């Protein structure tokens, strides 16, 4: 006698598994992308590039200010509730 198929059970199991995977995707992505390792690596590579390029002091100051502004924009993009006006 052949095995009886259960389409509703298989559909519910499939949808439940997808729901679990989708719910765990965002926290895992955030954990991996926002690890302090990446920030340290970015800073180390930036310092290596600056040392190799031989920039003068005003150019380094300008780049540091630009980097600060970009960092603030990144923070706001991650959490718009932290937007501070007139800083």
Report the sign of the C-alpha dihedral through residues 24, 28, 29, 34, in that order: positive
Instruction: Classify residue 27: in a domain, yes or no.
Output: yes
Q: Judge if 32 and 68 occupy the same domain.
A: no
Taking each helix axis from N to C end, the angle separating 36-53 and 57-78, rounded to the nearest 10 degrees, works out to 160
Instruction: Classify residue 3: in a domain, yes or no.
Output: no
State yes or no: pLDDT of 15 exceeds 90: yes
Instruction: Classify residue 1: in a domain, yes or no.
Output: no
Q: How many folded domains does the chain comprise?
A: 2
Query: Global pTM?
Result: 0.40
Mean pLDDT across the chain, nearest whole number? 80
Q: Judge if 50 and 14 occupy the same domain.
A: yes
Domain that holds residue 64: 55-87
Tokens of 13: 């199991």
pLDDT band at residue 12, thresholds of 50, 70 and 90?
Answer: very high
Tokens of 66: 């630009």
Q: Judge if 69 and 49 occupy the same domain.
A: no
Instruction: Classify residue 36: in a domain, yes or no.
Output: yes
In sequence order, which residues have a C-beta less than 8 Å from that of residue 76 and are 6 or more positions away?
82, 83
């Amino acid at each position: 006698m052949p095995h009886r198929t259960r389409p509703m059970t298989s559909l519910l199991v499939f949808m439940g598994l997808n729901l679990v995977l989708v719910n765990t995707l965002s926290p895992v992505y955030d954990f991996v992308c926002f690890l302090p390792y990446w920030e340290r690596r970015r800073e180390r590579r930036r310092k290596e590039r600056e040392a190799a390029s031989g920039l003068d002091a005003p150019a380094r100051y300008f780049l540091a200010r630009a980097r600060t502004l970009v960092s603030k924009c990144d923070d706001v993009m991650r959490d718009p509730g932290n937007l501070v006006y007139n800083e």
